[in-house]
Amino acid sequence: MLVADNRMVAPSATLLTLQYPGELPDMVAGQFAELQVPSAKVLLRRPISIHAIDRSKSLVMFLIQIVGEGTQSLARLKAGDKVNALLPLGNGFSYRTTHVARPLLVGGGVGVAPLLFLGQELEAHGIRPTFLFGGRTENLILRKEEFRKYGDLFMTTEDGTAGEKGFVTNHSLLMDSEQFDRIYACGPTPMLKAIARWAMDHETACEVSLEHRMACGIGACLCCVEDTADKGNVCVCKEGPVFTIDKLKWFN
């Protein structure tokens, strides 16, 4: 695929837009791509969730946090460069197959990435989601204006620079537990576990997207496993990355 655009949207995050040749394949929010890294120093592909799509222009967007050599190399890509991408991979969130009316989309750090695509999809289904994002500080909560196009955005920051001070699970929005009929979450594992615990305690359906270390991305190498209640160790790349929390063995 060709790079259509690549620009920094925060001190350590880039927004990479790829041009798909021809009509975009069907994609579900929560699915990801395995991007080949244009650096001789990096061997494996990088699994990056699909941030948004533009079906009319056949564009796929990725919000990438720069953490190491692999993501740095992806951030250096220029318009016109070629990138080998395997996509779409994984299962995605269940909004096409399960009923949802009042969704809460919870994100932390770069875990907000797939939630924009999910917001787009929900809007197309006539559903206006609520976003609840957490971060250490205000400028680490990425692309706020984009998210506000699709739903109301609430925030928590650890230093109080935006939204309420504290963690997402302490936000006053969660005082009324009847407000939401399903939670979709993506972010650091401690945050996911906290929101999963809240959802369990309040009997709210909850899906979490996991970010395990992957190699192949297609269920062959068995590196990215998560232990599940019904199937034991399963590949996050193939059976996930999205799991309903009752399938996970986090609390037993």
Q: Which residues bind other proteins (CB under 8 A)?
A: 36, 41-45, 84, 86, 212-227, 232-233
Closer of 200 and 210 to other proteins (Cβ): 210
Instruction: Supply the minimum distance, in Å, between the C-beta of residue 42 and other proteins.
Output: 8
Q: What is the 3-state secondary structure (H, E, C) of 176-244?
A: CCCCCCEEEEECCHHHHHHHHHHHHHCCCEEEEECCCCCCCCCCCCCCCEEEECCCEEEECCCCCCEEE
Instruction: Supply the minimum distance, in Å, between the C-beta of residue 2 and other proteins.
Output: 19
Q: In what order do the strands lie in the sheet with 85-89?
A: 46-49, 32-35, 85-89
Angstrom distance (rounded) from CA 54 to CA 101: 24
Closer of 68 and 160 to other proteins (Cβ): 68
Instruction: Supply the minimum distance, in Å, between the C-beta of residue 101 and other proteins.
Output: 35
Closer of 194 and 235 to other proteins (Cβ): 235
The helix (H) or strand (E) run that includes residue 132 is: strand 130-135
Instruction: Supply the minimum distance, in Å, between the C-beta of residue 31 and other proteins.
Output: 15
Closer of 41 and 76 to other proteins (Cβ): 41
65, two tokens: 């946090």
Residue 87 three-state SS? strand
Closer of 137 and 233 to other proteins (Cβ): 233
Instruction: Supply the minimum distance, in Å, between the C-beta of residue 70 and other proteins.
Output: 8
Instruction: Supply the minimum distance, in Å, between the C-beta of residue 224 and other proteins.
Output: 7
Q: What is the DSSP string of 11-79?
A: TTEEEEEEE-SSSPPP--TT-EEEEPPS-TT--S-EEEE--EEETTTTEEEEEEE--SHHHHHHHT--T
Closer of 41 and 57 to other proteins (Cβ): 41
Instruction: Supply the minimum distance, in Å, between the C-beta of residue 144 and other proteins.
Output: 29
Residue 54: which residues within 8 A CB-CB, separation 6 or more? 61
Residue with tokens 């620079």: 161
Closer of 7 and 231 to other proteins (Cβ): 231
